[in-house]
Amino acid sequence: MRIGTVLTVLLPSAMLLGLGFGTLFHGSGEGLGVLIDPLVLTLLTLIFFEVRFARLRIASDQLTFLFLAWVTNFILIPILSWGLASSFFSDQPALFTGLFLYLLFPCTDWFLAFTRIAKGDVPLGSILIPINLISQLFFFPIYLAMFISSETSFEVVDTWRMFWQWFLIPFLGGFLIRFILSSVLSSDRLKSVTTFAGSLIPWFLSALVFCIFSCHTLELAAYSSTFPFILLAIFLFFFATWLMGEFFKRFFRFTGPQHALFAMTTTARNSPLMLGLATIALPDQPMVYAVLIIGMLVEFPHLTFLSRIVLVPNNSLTTSVTKSVSL
């Protein structure tokens, strides 16, 4: 919850400051573009360093739930994402790509904070972290080729070169650093270091947002009229994933904690990772990055609201919608 709260303040501030800096000091703003690649590399390494690879050994008694969550996150939601992006922005490649990438993959870390608030199954959620991350490692270049290269006029950089350089290298680097520290530090000390690394993510992410908005002020201002449609598409996605969770809860008889976890893992998006990868896979496409950032702005308030809905047993709104879905 703490990361979400910090980002709720930092991201709008970074956007506004970046737009102001880019407007007042246009040349200097464009010069900040040289910082984007180092910031992306640092951000991705911090994200992967924070990932915990525990509890896979106890996954065998939760296979049905894990399978349903995986199918929803990596089959159903990508199809839903493509449908929404096509419906709203089929003739605007940058907006189509940004919306699709924002909606594409589930969060791999802070969704657990909202799961805890909603009294969801946090130990089971920790099993999803490596499953979701490894699945994203596998599917990102495939979906990039299937949905972005084929649906838009963008020339995606060499997908596999980008995959190795900007995904696997930070992943292996973060994992190796964590492995080395775990062998020389006590568990409490390692937890403190991991917590500190996690606390840096919002600041590096905000620095990246500031540089992006400073570099591309004029292009972003030209698309300002499309922002309400972006927000509407994201709202429809949140509503659709909520309906999915209510349907699965009833049909597969999820427990209350399982339902809360399912709602969070299918709603929370991995937008920081997607933003980092998009800047590499699709260079000089500021509106792609802007859609991802706009999504982050509304996601955390929505997750806070959602955690309250699934927390309350027999909520009248939940009950009525569930009944209508089952008819």
Predicted local confidence at residue 283, as pLDDT = 78
Nearest to 225 by CA among 104, 26, 89: 89
Which residue intervals of the chain are DSSP H helices? Answer: 2-24, 26-31, 36-50, 63-71, 77-89, 93-104, 111-117, 122-143, 159-163, 169-184, 187-215, 217-222, 227-251, 256-267, 271-281, 286-311, 316-326
| Backbone angles phi and psi of 53, in degrees to 5 | -110, 60
Predicted local confidence at residue 11, as pLDDT = 75
| Backbone angles phi and psi of 49, in degrees to 5 | -65, -35
Structure tokens at 95: 């907006």
Predicted local confidence at residue 3, as pLDDT = 55
Q: What is d(CA 167, CA 81) in angstroms, rounded to the nearest whole number?
A: 22
Mean pLDDT of 273-297: 82
Structure tokens at 230: 């972006």
Q: Is the pLDDT of residue 314 over 50?
A: no
Q: Is the pLDDT of residue 161 over 70?
A: no
Structure tokens at 276: 């980092």
What's the CATH number for 2-326? 1.20.1530.20
Query: In the structure, what pLDDT confidence band is assigned to residue 154 with cuts at 50, 70 and 90?
Result: low
Q: Is the pLDDT of residue 88 over 90?
A: yes
What is the pTM (predicted TM-score) of this model? 0.74
The CA-based angle 173-176-178, given to 5 degrees, is 110
Predicted local confidence at residue 323, as pLDDT = 45
Q: What is d(CA 187, CA 70) in angstroms, rounded to the nearest whole number?
A: 30
Mean pLDDT of 126-132: 83
| Backbone angles phi and psi of 4, in degrees to 5 | -60, -40
Q: Is the pLDDT of residue 134 over 90?
A: no
Residues 246 and 325: beta-carbon distance below 8 Å = yes
Kindly report, residue by residue over 176-225, the tens digit of the pLDDT: 888 899 888 888 888 888 888 878 888 887 888 888 778 877 767 767 78
Predicted local confidence at residue 156, as pLDDT = 57
For the chain, give the mean pLDDT.
Answer: 80
Using H for helix, E for strand and C for coil, what is the string for 163-198? HHHHHHHHHHHHHHHHHHHHHHCCHHHHHHHHHHHH
Radius of gyration of the chain (CA): 19
Segments making up each domain of the chain, as ranges = 2-326
